[in-house]
Every structure is written in C-alpha cells, then in structure tokens.
Homo-oligomer: A and B are copies of this chain.
C-alpha cells in the first residue's frame, strides 16, 4: 500500500540556523522559507536526490509544532510521510487493521496541497506517520 517516502519532517527551533546547517555544513539544496498560515508553520524544503527533508517552524499562535518544541527545545524529527495512491482506501484498510487515524478521520489538505491523514504514533512504534495521496 505505502509507496515512496515523500519526506521526513524535522521541527527546528531556529529556522535560519537550520537552513545554514543544511546548506553550508551538509551541502544540500535548501529552498526558501514558505509561510503556511493555515497550517501554523513555516516550512523549508531540502531537496535530496530521492526524497525531501521538510524543516518545520511554528508560525502564529496555536501552531501544531509548538507543543513538540516545548517538549524538545532543541528540535527533533516530527514525522515521516509515506505516499499512497488512494487515501480513502488506505484509511479503510488501516482502521480494519486496528490503526487509529488522528482527528476526525477525514483527509485534510496538507502542506503540499494534497489530501493527507495522520496515524496515531502509539500504533506505529512512537513514530507519527503522515499519509499523502499522490
């Protein structure tokens, strides 16, 4: 069912510093910051040959990243995102297997403008999984 690893998302306390680290120290291709007010985050995409790293920083009040950074002030890996072809079918299958979908279980439009769902980390080894329909 799951296809490509679309991205690994890393919550960072200092976006400018993280961009310099990835550009100068790691020599990667780092895109510009993009504010996504409807998601409460500023994102920076790092393009690798086979996938992307998504740097996440809180934007505005009530950001979904703020609590994570309170618990992990130095930052940390926030989630990984797998691509699926049919998100509704994936959800039905996962729920039948006993996995919990976060929120009301309905797909939302994610940071890339495509439908996404998140799976409960307690059902997947403490790892928050995003599924994105491609």
Contacts and interface: CB of A to CB of B under 8 A. Distances in A.
Interface in A41-81: 48-51, 53, 55, 72, 74-77, 80
A97 B25 contact: yes
Contacts of A88: none
Interface in A104-134: 121-127
B4 A97 contact: no
Given A24-B97, A26-B1, A49-B4, A126 B80 contact: no
Task: State the main secondary structure of chain A at its contact with B.
Answer: loop
Contacts of A87: none
Interface of A: 1-5, 8, 10-13, 18, 21, 24-28, 48-51, 53, 55, 72, 74-77, 80, 82, 93-94, 97-99, 121-127
17 contacts: A1-B26, A2-B26, A5-B5, A5-B48, A5-B53, A8-B8, A10-B127, A11-B125, A25-B99, A26-B82, A48-B82, A55-B125, A72-B126, A74-B121, A75-B125, A76-B126, A77-B80
